[in-house]
Amino acid sequence: MVNINEMREEIYRKIELLDPTKLKLALNRVNILKEIQDIEEENIQN
């Protein structure tokens, strides 16, 4: 499984290299992956 925190840190390291459109897409991807991870963790707990 993708480690969301590691991915987020990598994105933040590269933030200054991204144009605003690419930055928005990257952050949206992280948010979507985090939501998926939360759902998977909730399903495991149930």
Q: What pLDDT does residue 22 have?
A: 83
User: Domain locations in the chain?
Assistant: 4-45
pLDDT by residue, tens only, the chain of 46 residues: 678 889 888 878 887 787 888 888 888 999 999 999 999 999 999 8
Q: What pLDDT does residue 41 have?
A: 93
Cβ atoms of 27 and 11 closer than 8 Å: yes
Q: What pLDDT does residue 29 have?
A: 92
Q: What pLDDT does residue 1 have?
A: 66
Among 44, 33, 43, 45, smallest CA distance to 3 is for 33
| pTM greater than 0.95 | no
Among 5, 2, 8, 11, smallest CA distance to 40 is for 2
Residue at token pair 């969301």: 4
